[in-house]
Amino acid sequence: MRGYSLLWVTALANVGLVQAHTFIWGVFVNGVDQGTFRGIRTPAYNGPPPRGYANSPVKNLESIDIRCNVLGDIQNPYTIKVQPGDNLTFDWKHNNRTLADDIIDFSHHGPMLAYLSPDPPTENSFVKIFEKGLYELPEKQFAPGKWAITSDLKPNYGRMNVRIPNGLKAGHYLIRAELIALHEADASYDKNPQRGAQFYPDCVQIEVTGDGTVELPAGVSFPGAYKYGDPGILHDVYCSTKTTSLKVPCTTTYPIPGPTVWSGAWPDTTAVSLGAVSGPITAPLWSSWISKSVVTSATYIGNSPSIVATSTYTASWSAKYVTPTPVA
């Protein structure tokens, strides 16, 4: 159960599952869709029906899951080919890959970020290439500001734009795209596990081609880059929304967590025109889930699962890149 088949059965969504959190369903390169779920290390399902959902989220900053989510060490059979300067559009979705999808709950205010690392990652290999947080400040406390997730990603159909750095050296890389929801971030997860910032990391496999010579500088590690007390993680988001704050006094500014954006990244990331979606717009009925490192597989009798096997899952990150074997 340690192969891609495990990733596939644990990662695919039950079409009508209302508990599902957002994750990346597809990637457009210069407006051309690369295919639903292709090149994406789709998060596992967590918990049996009716509570199963992909992208749990991750809240434990000391867990390996903060790197690329649950099962993030398992390679996807496809790697997306790109060139320096290409525009990538990540298509975050909730229940299905349509423009009618609700993307993410309206309460999940917070930043969007993207990191780039050689694949496989090593210590301090993740370099930030994009971030957007509270980009329009409120006029006063408890007035609405504009947040990247709820004022940008959600109304723009879940599309997040990132650009491959100019002159980047050819090779295999991971793009770690991330949303951080702050609706419970007024408390720290290590002090109160029922609350805390919610992290939605999702990794995409790319192969950069061409004759570029620019190498990534030293970056940060996941886990390790974020701490529970960081002001961008322990933050009262209600100071900059229409909702009354839980704490007084509080601030209407927001420092995005992690390192600064690399100077070699593009200063601006703009939207591009997108073509049609290639591949399915819904996901098949899922038949496995993972909870506290226990993978459970099931068959279905009608809509009810019948458990057939369990196994223990431990993330095992390769020290050397291995080209995945494509499947039909």
Each residue's pLDDT tens digit, 196-227: 999 999 999 999 999 999 999 999 999 999 99
60 or 56: which leads in pLDDT = 60
Is residue 118 over pLDDT 90?
yes
Residue 107: which of 186, 52, 51, 50 has the closest Cα?
Answer: 186
* 80: CB partners within 8 A, 6+ apart: 27, 29, 34, 38, 39, 204, 205, 206, 207
Task: Report which of 67, 72, 17 is spatially closest to residue 47, judged by C-alpha positions.
Answer: 17
Q: How far is CA 139 from the centre of its chain?
A: 31
Q: Which residues are bridge partners to 127 per DSSP?
A: 116
- Top mean pLDDT of 50-64, 100-114, 138-152, 231-245 is at 100-114
Backbone angles phi, psi at 231, to 5 degrees: -65, -20
Q: Which domains does the chain have, with CATH numbers?
A: 4-312 (2.70.50.70)
Distance CA 310, CA 136 (A): 48
Structure tokens at 175: 């793009």
The b/e string for 196-233 (b: 16+ C-beta within 10 A; e otherwise) is: bbbbbbbbbbbebeeebeeebeebbebeebbebebebb
Mean pLDDT of 308-317: 94
What is residue 41's predicted lDDT score, i.e. its pLDDT?
96
Helix (H) or strand (E) holding 326: none
* pLDDT for res 53: 79
Average pLDDT of span 74-89: 97
- Is 0.85 topped by the overall pTM? yes
pLDDT of 39 > 60? The answer is yes
Residue 52: pLDDT band with limits 50, 70, 90: confident
pLDDT at 249: 66
In this prediction, residue 253 carries a pLDDT of 87
Pairing outcome for strands 288-291 and 294-301? antiparallel
The three-state secondary structure class of 256 is coil
What mean pLDDT is reported for the chain?
A: 89
Q: What is the pLDDT of residue 207?
A: 98
How sure is the predictor about 244, in pLDDT bands with cuts at 50, 70 and 90?
Answer: low
Which of the two residues, 140 and 207, has the higher pLDDT score? 207
The Cα–Cα gap between 296 and 224 comes to: 30
Of the candidates 85, 88, 72, the one whose C-alpha atom is nearest the C-alpha of residue 40 is 72
Amino acid of residue 2: R
Q: What's the confidence (pLDDT) of residue 18?
A: 37
Tokens representing 48? Answer: 């049996």
pLDDT, mean of residues 253-274: 95
| pLDDT(1) > 90 | no
